[in-house]
Structure 1
Amino acid sequence: MLSFEPIAADFHIELIDPISLPHTEVDTIWEEKKEPHHFDAPFVHCLNYDTHSLTGCLLPYRYLFAQQQGLSIPIRPVTLCGITRHGDQILLGKRSPNVTQHPGAWECVPSGSLDRADFLAALTQELYEEAHLTPTSLTPFALVNESPMLHLLCHLTVGTSTLPSATAEYTAFHWLAPSQSPPPGPLVPLTKLIIV
């Protein structure tokens, strides 16, 4: 079961030199199974964490891809999940049918893999790229362990309730008030934990 682990408001990430991992099988899987829309961008692999900090290193996406293809490899990707609010409403986005994970499901916006230590800047960039919004405030508040993923959750506030236009990541957006049921369709498991 997914559960929240509260973190300090001054939570920070420290990146160290990459660890050594076997790469021959990873490279073979990558070359044989990657799709044209996959790219080998870096992601943060968590080495350890506590309520105040996380220590990790950057690894190429191909390691995560190989793990998702069934290769037993000890990596723990860190993802970002923003809970974007305007007043008491939470912004949800319906994932594009072209995304790798949870196509067509509703999720909190923004979300994505983490590719740098400055997660506040990364989340601000994700929110702008995914919904063309800029936060007026941003605060980390929890980690959620969904093995092998470790999700870093942050509260974001925006100054408008105008629904964003569709983007490459999301085909639709919805502001969810506390008294409302989620829109029809599946929910990403982490979003379900947050809003239900």
Structure 2
Amino acid sequence: MNPGLTRQLDIRPLSVTGYLQCDDGVIVGRRSDWVEQNPGEWEFVPSGTVDPSSIDPDGHVDFQRALLTELGEEIGIAEDQVALPLEPFVIVEDHDAMVTDVVLRGHLRASAASVMSAFDALRNREYTEIMVLPLTSVGCGCPVALTPVSRAIVKAAVNET
């Protein structure tokens, strides 16, 4: 996404991010070095732009569908591994990237080991690696460099407790 163009046209792409817990914590991924925004930083996964396949017949955005699609593409987790429905959590405005990010939270019916195994089986990866952060480390000084959007998600999670 070209932030200069989005500013010039006064438009904002819409993205979706998951704040998803498995049995052992929340899932984050290290962004590839080839991405335009925040290369090498960590973010909550899955995360991606809402595309036309997530628009229902009435013209409404199905954020849950968008997130489930991203979850399969980015870490290889199937929909039957997700406790549905996912819950809207927070909206984050990424002013640098000029993107509005809708964050959904929920639980996976999976251990960290099974999440890692699903990711390892992927051939085309958007992340160089993923990890599961214990919830205690998210709220009191995350051990990895998070993207601005993910830092905002942490802030919302901490403020909620």
Which of 67, 70, 91 in structure 2 is aligned with 1:143?
91
Indicate the RMSD between aligned Cα atoms, in angstroms: 2.2
Could you give the per-residue CA deviations for residues 145-179 of structure 1, whole angstroms, max 9, x where no partner exists? 23332110101311112223265211111111122
Shift of 1:69: 5.4
Structure with higher Rg: it is 1
For 1:80 and 1:182, locate their aligned partners in 2 and report how far apart those are by CA, in whole Å. 22
For 2:4 and 2:70, locate their aligned partners in 1 and report how far apart those are by CA, in whole Å. 23
1:104 maps to: 40
- List runs of 5+ in structure 1 lacking aligned partners: 1-63
Could you give the per-residue CA deviations for residues 103-138 of structure 1, whole angstroms, max 9, x where no partner exists? 111000000111132221111010011001132222
For 2:5 and 2:65, locate their aligned partners in 1 and report how far apart those are by CA, in whole Å. 30
Matched, 1:72 2:8: yes
Q: 3-state DSSP class of the match of 1:136?
A: strand
Matched, 1:83 2:19: yes
Q: 1:77 to 1:69 in 2, by over 3 A?
A: closer
For 2:126 and 2:102, locate their aligned partners in 1 and report how far apart those are by CA, in whole Å. 19
Shift of 1:71: 5.9
Contact 2:94 2:148 in 1 (8 A): no
Q: 3-state DSSP class of the match of 2:26?
A: strand
2:128 maps to: 171
Q: Quick one: higher RCO (CA 8 Å, sep 6+), 1 or 2?
A: 2
Q: 1:160 to 1:82 in 2, by over 3 A?
A: same
For 1:140 and 1:70, locate their aligned partners in 2 and report how far apart those are by CA, in whole Å. 25
Q: 1:69 to 1:129 in 2, by over 3 A?
A: same
For 1:70 and 1:118, locate their aligned partners in 2 and report how far apart those are by CA, in whole Å. 23
1:157 maps to: 107
Q: Which stretch of structure 1 is more off in the superposition, 163-172 or 79-88?
A: 163-172
**TM-score, length of structure 1 as denominator length:** 0.59
For 1:159 and 1:70, locate their aligned partners in 2 and report how far apart those are by CA, in whole Å. 38
Q: How many correspondences in the alignment? A: 131
1:38 maps to: none
For 1:149 and 1:70, locate their aligned partners in 2 and report how far apart those are by CA, in whole Å. 9
1:6 maps to: none
More helix, by proportion: 2
For 1:132 and 1:153, locate their aligned partners in 2 and report how far apart those are by CA, in whole Å. 19
Task: Report the AA paired with residue 67 of structure 2.
Answer: L
Could you give the per-residue CA deviations for residues 65-99 of structure 1, whole angstroms, max 9, x where no partner exists? 3x435862210211111111114611000111122
- Structural mapping, 1:110-149, within 5 Å: 110-115=46-51, 116=54, 117-134=61-78, 135-137=82-84, 138-147=86-95, 148-149=98-99
- List runs of 5+ in structure 2 lacking aligned partners: 55-60, 156-161
For 1:126 and 1:95, locate their aligned partners in 2 and report how far apart those are by CA, in whole Å. 14
